[in-house]
Amino acid sequence: MSIVTAILLGLAMGVAFGFFLEKARVFEPAVILGQFQFRSFLMLRVFLAGVAAGLVVLAVLTGFGWAKLSPKALLPMADIAGGLVLGAGIALAGACPGTVLAQIGAGYKDAWFTLAGGILGALAFTYAEPHLAPVLQVAGQGKLTLDMVTGVPFWMLALGFAVVLVLALVGLERWRPWRQEIGENADGLMPPRQATPPAHAVPAE
Amino acid sequence: MPRLTDKAWSPYVAGALIGLLQIPAFLFLGTALGASSSFVTVGASVAEVFDPGIRAIRYAAGHLDGAKNWWQVALVIGIALGAFASSRLSGAVRRGVAPVWQRATDLSRGGRFVLAFFAGFLMLMGARIADGCTSGHGLSGMAQLSLGSFAAVTAMFVGGILTATLLFRPVR
């Protein structure tokens, strides 16, 4: 594919991606913080629905031989250390590397600083990578997926896992409907908890 | 039926539509959705203007050229355009800093900008160490049943939960 075609395709897919992220409200900092504080589950709903759809897509595409998987290698050190740092960054930013761009599109000003910090962080890692790589690749296992470990065909596991995720989402929705978490201004922010009134009001005499 | 002028769609519908974007990614690019390596492509491209020697770093060279790298840069620029369009259609346009920050922290506007910069740095440093972010490890890695992605996503939630509960006041 030529680079121009790739860029045009990327733009088109990105516009759809950004549109859906905005409609899902998952780019809102209050939604991210609310998820990490277990006060909102909107992020989990979007995330698991996205994984479930991806599982079905990949079960079909690979099942018919139309596409090949391209999973990342299992690098325990890198995955765990990097994941922890990434998670801390996401909480402090109130955004992920993808949704920070949605914040910019929607109009949040601090997102420009997150973006600039992110580009500098990626550059700093690039310069450090030759020194970090030997540590990060300790105990590396190569590209390892659940179907390889279990010997069960990918499509079967993927569809099974998708069913589990859908059931979990049905349960989540029954426990707590998503509309309760959107907020008056659609930013995932709820009115602050009222101070609890005294249990027994003292009657005036 | 979700309308383009709605402020919020069902998170299940929006999430599933995002998952369907794996179809063009795998069919046309032979790759999965991802976002964080585009930060390396942009950072290294800017750095190359001042430091042409950066190409000698194999990691940088691997991110500078090629259709897949610039596809992902276009993808994240598209995210901003799509969110812009969606927010203007619904009227959910954002200004300044989200009100949640006042509730969760004592930071001034300037303080929030400094924290956001630091957070962005940390976020991409972590994503590059882990070789993926919420998109690459989360959406794509989990959909490929990749064991490394399960580990990275678990660690990401642990890091996020610890940070958000230890450093911030409850948001509601």
Look at residues B124, B84, B77, B12 and name the one whose alpha carbon lies nearest to residue A173.
Answer: B12
Q: Which residues from A are below 8 Å from B31, CB to CB?
A: 70
Residue (of A50, A52, A116, A134) closest to B11 by Cα position: A50
- Stretch B54-77: mean pLDDT: 96
Return the pLDDT at A138.
86
More confident residue, B171 or A125: A125
Report CB contact under 8 Å: B163, A91.
yes
Q: Is B105 on the interface with A (CB under 8 A)?
A: no
Residue-level pLDDT at A192: 79
User: Could you give the ipTM of this predicted complex?
Assistant: 0.96
CB-based contacts of A177: which residues, under 8 Å, 6+ apart? none
Q: What is the mean pLDDT of each run of 10 residues along chain A (205 residues)?
A: 94 98 98 96 98 98 94 94 98 97 98 98 98 90 91 96 98 96 92 66 60
Q: What digits encode the pLDDT tens for the residues B96-126?
A: 999 999 999 999 999 999 999 999 999 999 9
What is the structure's pLDDT at A198?
Answer: 58
pLDDT band at B21 (very low <50, low <70, confident <90, very high): very high
Chain B residues with CB-CB distance to A57 below 8 A: 19-20, 22-23, 26, 143
* CA A61 centroid distance within chain: 23
What is the predicted pLDDT for the residue at A186? 93
Alpha-carbon distances of B159 from B120, B153, B167, rounded to whole Å: 15, 10, 12
Average pLDDT on B16-39 reads 96
| Predicted local confidence at residue A12, as pLDDT | 98
pLDDT at A190: 87
